[in-house]
Amino acid sequence: MLKRLGFLGCVLTTLAAGISVAHAHGEKALEPFIRMRTIQWYDVSWSNPTVEVNDAVTVTGRFHVAEDWPIGVPKPEAAYLNISVPGPVMIRTERYLNGQPWTNSVALRPGADYDFKVVLKARVPGRYHIHPFFNLKDAGPVMGPGRWIEIGGDAAAFSNPVKTLGGEVIDMESYGLATGVMWHGLWLLVGLAWLLWWISRPLFFPRYKMLEAGREAELVTPLDRRIAKVILVAVPVVVLGANAMAQNAYPNTIPLQAALDHIDPLEPVVNTGAVQVKILRAEYRVPGRSMAMTAQIFNGTGHPIRIGEFATAGLRFINAVAVVPSQDETDHLTAAAGLHLDNDAPIQPGERRTVMISATDAIWETEKLDGLIRDADSRLGGLLFFYDDAGQRYITSSSVAVIPRFD
């Protein structure tokens, strides 16, 4: 009896664990080297954690396109920034890249910097984890960091009025709905009727036997032929007729646009050359969940600088030097005391120093980045953030092969 209870407990615990994991929606599924060395997100922020239906939520941030783009991932020749939400609980009303309104996909340039802004409008009440993410053609989605957003209010109060080029104001929630339902219903009925017509007759084996017996002429009756002829004529007539009617009713329409947008990168933000970093070696200690990097740093700025952050795949390992928005300090993607240096002293202008940097936290494991050591491409990529005494920030992006340690 006790054993049985124990087993039941085990099953329940597993189920409960399964339920808690179900909150995630694929953000950890992609191979670590793709998350670390394609789109390198930083400064991502959300305007408001609690909103009402119809309110705006703005997601802003920046990303660097890694120089060391993985050889196995197609180049970002067509990329589309979107927001990952569980279902149509928000609508996207505006989207900008480097300040330009942005509708279609763009080609991103490895080594370049971009800044984005997406404005959403809350539609369905609930609590949702929302992420900015990139859909890269032939490579798939690369998730940015996510945050919980709580939408309150009444779903029925949602409205989405849009003014058409003809000057008419329409509500996108209900516009053309009846027409859509009518057409789906019509073709569903025609299809189902045709299917039932044949299903109600003798099926495969009886037909096969009749065919074998040389009675194939009986398989298709004159009535079948007549109905087929009617359908053959009626379907194109209905489609072409309805098309002509729609053209007539809406003479001015714009087709969906298939061209790429062209948006230039920002003036370099990351790897400007002011601070130069070369990571000579990186070791990942599996039991300690710690990445130890030996970095050669050259300070080409006119000020003493200190290291404050290592960021990779939306995770942040920071120390007391880092300037972080207060909401991020308790975020589960930020290791608030996760960054350690063997020498904390500021690096003087013109100085070249080799520093041991370690990024240590269980998030390597919980965010499933430790799988890097079992990948065919075990190269680490990430951003290092430096701060000078005048509050200026310098960012570098570098990459290095990782050697695992199991002791």
CB closer to Cu ion, 130 vs 269? 130
Closest CA to 309 of 334, 346, 278: 334
Helix (H, G, I), strand (E, B) or coil at 14: helix
CB closer to Cu ion, 129 vs 207? 129
CB closer to Cu ion, 63 vs 394? 63
- The interface region with Cu ion, picked from 27-35, 67-75, 209-217, 251-259 by CB under 5 A, is 27-35
CB closer to Cu ion, 85 vs 402? 85
CB closer to Cu ion, 145 vs 308? 145
Give least dist CB 22 to Cu ion, A: 11
Give least dist CB 131 to Cu ion, A: 5
Interface with Cu ion (CB under 5 A), residue from 146, 308, 338, 382: 146
User: Is beta strand 113-122 parallel, antiparallel or unpaired with respect to 90-97?
Assistant: antiparallel
Closest CA to 42 of 344, 257, 323: 323
Pairwise CA distance, residues 217 & 337, whole Å: 82
Give least dist CB 25 to Cu ion, A: 5
Its sign, for the CA torsion 23, 285, 307, 335, is positive
Determine contact, residues 291/358, Cβ cutoff 8 Å: yes
Q: What stretches of 31-140 show up as alpha helix (H) in DSSP?
A: 32-37
CB closer to Cu ion, 367 vs 370? 367
- The interface region with Cu ion, picked from 1-9, 92-100, 124-132, 389-397 by CB under 5 A, is 124-132
CB closer to Cu ion, 76 vs 145? 145
Give least dist CB 92 to Cu ion, A: 17
Pairwise CA distance, residues 189 & 193, whole Å: 6
CB closer to Cu ion, 32 vs 146? 146
Closest CA to 114 of 316, 306, 270, 311: 270
Distances (CA, A) of 350 to 153, 222, 301, 308: 57, 94, 7, 19
Interface with Cu ion (CB under 5 A), residue from 129, 147, 207, 393: 129
Q: Does 28 bind Cu ion (CB under 5 A)?
A: no
Buried/exposed 364-376: b ≥16 CB within 10 Å, e otherwise: beebbbbebbeee
User: Is beta strand 100-101 parallel, antiparallel or unpaired with respect to 339-341?
Assistant: unpaired
Give least dist CB 141 to Cu ion, A: 12
How many positions of this chain bind Cu ion (CB under 5 A)?
Answer: 3
- The interface region with Cu ion, picked from 121-129, 276-284, 378-386, 395-403 by CB under 5 A, is 121-129
Phi/psi of residue 214, each to 5°? 75, 20
Give least dist CB 59 to Cu ion, A: 13
Give least dist CB 146 to Cu ion, A: 4
Give least dist CB 129 to Cu ion, A: 3
Q: Helix, strand, coil % (nearest 5) of the chain?
A: 25, 35, 40
- Give contact residues for Cu ion (rule: CB under 5 A): 27, 129, 146
